[in-house]
């Protein structure tokens, strides 16, 4: 047997996809040039400003950029552009992609989409571990990806693919 391959953990049935670094960099550039749809905000609460690039809550006193992001591209019935935050300063992209991000275990809804970007299912993590919900949604073979969003505000947080 090949022993060099690490034993898959219970959470490795999926892959977390944070915002691409290019998108975060574009937002930082646009903010530098004072683009009207890119606002620089000083964080004033410990759990109000999730950075979609490092997948952590921005800390009070840090700066974030608020800008519109098309989580579901144009040309589909479920096309959607909504506001997201990234750290204004460069941050490290979340890279523990086999693990659900610890900062967002609560307050997320999970929307499941098919290959044509149609939303075909949705579940709220209500007293259930997110991993369980993700696994359940992926049991449907038509589900191509799952988007984690804020329950309260509906904002896109990150995408989840099958591992």
Nearer to Zn ion, 54 or 143 (CB): 54
Cβ neighbours for 7, distance < 8 A, ≥ 6 positions apart = none
Which CB, 53 or 108, lies closer to Zn ion?
53
Tokens standing for residue 46: 């410990």
- Does position 51 interact with Zn ion (CB under 5 A)? The reply is yes
What minimum distance in Å lies between the beta carbon of 153 and Zn ion?
Answer: 18
Distance between CA 41 and CA 43 in Å, rounded? 6
Question: How many chain residues bind Zn ion (CB under 5 A)?
Answer: 5
- Among positions 38, 53, 108, 111, the unique one binding Zn ion when judged by CB under 5 A: 53
CB of 132 to Zn ion, least distance (A): 27
Distance, in Å, from the CA atom of 4 to the CA atom of 75, rounded to the nearest integer, reads 44
Q: Which position among 17, 35, 91, 119 is part of the footprint of Zn ion (CB under 5 A)?
A: 91
Using the minimum distance from each CB to Zn ion, give the nearer residue, 13 or 66: 66
Q: Quick one: which H or E segment has residue 80?
A: strand 80-87
Strand order in the sheet with 156-162: 14-17, 156-162, 145-150, 108-113, 119-124
Name the residues that contact Zn ion, by CB under 5 A.
51, 53-54, 87, 91
């Amino acid at each position: 047997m090949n022993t060099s391959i690490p034993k898959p953990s219970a959470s490795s049935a999926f892959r977390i996809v944070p915002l691409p670094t290019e998108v975060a960099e574009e937002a930082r550039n646009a903010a530098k040039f004072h683009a009207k749809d890119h606002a620089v905000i000083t964080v004033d609460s410990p759990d109000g400003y999730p950075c979609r690039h490092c997948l952590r809550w921005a800390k009070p006193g840090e700066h974030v950029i608020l800008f519109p992001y098309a989580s579901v591209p144009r040309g589909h019935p479920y096309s959607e552009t909504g506001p997201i935050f990234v750290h204004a300063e460069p941050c490290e992209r979340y890279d523990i992609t086999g693990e659900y991000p610890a900062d967002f275990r609560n307050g997320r809804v999970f929307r499941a989409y098919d290959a044509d970007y149609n939303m075909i299912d949705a579940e709220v993590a209500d007293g259930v571990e997110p991993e369980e919900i993700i696994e359940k949604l992926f049991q449907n073979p038509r589900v191509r990806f799952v988007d984690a969003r804020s329950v309260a505000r509906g904002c896109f947080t990150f995408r989840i693919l099958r591992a």
